[in-house]
A = this chain, B = another copy of it.
Amino acid sequence: MSLREKKTAKKKADILRSAVEVIAEKGYHATTMEDIAAKLLMTKGSVYYYFKDKQDLLYQSYKMLLEQSNKMITEIINMNLPIKEKLEKVMKSHIVFIISERSSYGLKVKPEHYFEGEQLEIIFGLQENYANSFDQLIEEGIQAKIFSEVDVKIVRNLIIGAMNWVIQWYSTEGKKSAEEMAEIISEYLMKILIRS
């Protein structure tokens, strides 16, 4: 990749990050291209130089988010750790990520509303990948008799829901750092799984 290409890639990534943040904060429709651009001291026009349209920006933002989380969960799965610690690590990473990126792995409404065709398929694929990885960890724990025999999908959804909701109530002004909060939360959520 040439220097110029690197610069372009960086700029694109910057815009995506900016977009993720603003959209997570205000919602897709309430976010204007102006908002996203202003945050980076750019003009709308520039953003359009890098992205086809607002929807494209949303798609790529969301895709980036999901890819990052898939990368994260895959790495952790491949670590040589006890299953319980793996799952805790995943949860903590998930929570810290949400807090630090000020975003959410979950759109505030169904992807079907925003994407269609190939885009929707890719997004669904990535979501499924993450969900499956999560499920895999839970199942492994169940096999190992460390987790109780729960309905994997439901429990996974509950845990992800509880984590994604954190952005609604966690305040950076509070006493606890993101990491501390992630530690506490993962401990609590683990209780849903741990054999008593």
Query: What's the minimum C-beta distance from A157 to chain B, rounded to whole angstroms?
Result: 5
A168 touches which one: B161, B181, B191 (CB < 8 A)?
B161
Query: What's the minimum C-beta distance from A127 to chain B, rounded to whole angstroms?
Result: 10
Segment 12-44 of A: residues with Cβ below 8 Å from B? 25-30
Query: What's the minimum C-beta distance from A147 to chain B, rounded to whole angstroms?
Result: 11
Identify the stretch in A45-53, A59-67, A103-111 within 8 Å (CB) of chain B at 4 or more residues.
A103-111
Counting every copy of the chain, the complex holds: 4
Query: Is A120 located at the chain interface by the 8 A CB criterion?
Result: no
Count of interface residues, chain A, beta-carbon cutoff 8 Å: 36
In the complex, are the beta carbons of B154 and A165 less than 8 A apart? no
Query: What's the minimum C-beta distance from A67 to chain B, rounded to whole angstroms?
Result: 20
Least CB separation from A29: chain B residue: B29
A189 touches which one: B108, B158, B184 (CB < 8 A)?
B158
Query: What's the minimum C-beta distance from A110 to chain B, rounded to whole angstroms?
Result: 7
A108 touches which one: B109, B154, B158, B166 (CB < 8 A)?
B109
In the complex, are the beta carbons of A188 and B154 less than 8 A apart? yes
Chain A interface (Cβ within 8 Å of chain B)?
A: 25-30, 106, 108-110, 113, 150-151, 154-155, 157-166, 168-169, 181, 184-185, 188-189, 191-192, 194, 196
